[in-house]
Structure 1
């Protein structure tokens, strides 16, 4: 039987969903428009939440996005208090998540290494493709 999610994980997921909706529909700051929330980590006492986000523009304009998020954090926290019923509404700390960009960079490096290996392989015209030359 699969292990159930902890209450903390469920609350973090709910906070992520609510924040994503609030940012998309309620925050009017254009600096914050093209972001996607990737994760929320809560402290055990729910006093602080690290909200990880990525930007559609990569790291371009990251400073202004962080300023916009910081300005909106009071509004977002107040709205979270109304939507999520927990004893403490966490203080929001926004953190840029570069894992998608890093993943793309690593994927490109792997593709480049594979292409280099294929370029250096000797072509074997004697054996048909898909068959092993050893019996």
Structure 2
């Protein structure tokens, strides 16, 4: 009988939870901002994990700097992750900025502006 969620999905989900805890408790770097792990996508062979993050309260340059710093710290983060997860092989971590939150906020602003314009426009009879 086929499982509803494959091994990749289970590993990705667990890795997301553990990465959040590692960044919150184990990585003590003042250069990192408030980082949220949005999604972890693991390849079929579990060799590479793409970690999509969001950095709150940072400008564009700050977001890039945080992602670059995370990629530089990935061996340390990976080591901490290996202590927490019961896997023989821990995936290589590659951090990417997830701009879906920014896109969603922009769409929300545009819809709000459109709604305000419709309210200001007089009804045609």
TM-score, normalising length from structure 2? 0.87
Encode CA deviations 1:69-121: one digit per residue, 9 max, x unaligned.
12321111112222212232110000001111110110110111111112224
Deviations 1:41-85 (A, max 9, x none): 000000000000001124351232123212321111112222212
Q: Alpha-carbon deviation of 1:26?
A: 0.9
Provide the C-alpha distance between the structure 1 equivalents of 2:21 and 2:28, rounded to a whole number of angstroms. 12
Note if contact 1:24-1:33 (Cα within 8 Å) is conserved in structure 2.
no
Aligned to 1:27: 27
| CA–CA separation in structure 2 for the residues paired with 1:45 and 1:98 | 27
Unaligned residue ranges in structure 1 (runs of 5+): 125-135
Of structures 1 and 2, the larger Rg is shown by 1
1:13 maps to which residue?
A: 13
SS of 1:32's equivalent in the other structure is coil
Q: Kindly report structure 1 stretches of 4+ aligned residues shifted beyond 4 Å.
A: none
Number of residue-to-residue matches in the alignment: 122
RMSD of aligned residue pairs (Cα, Å): 1.8
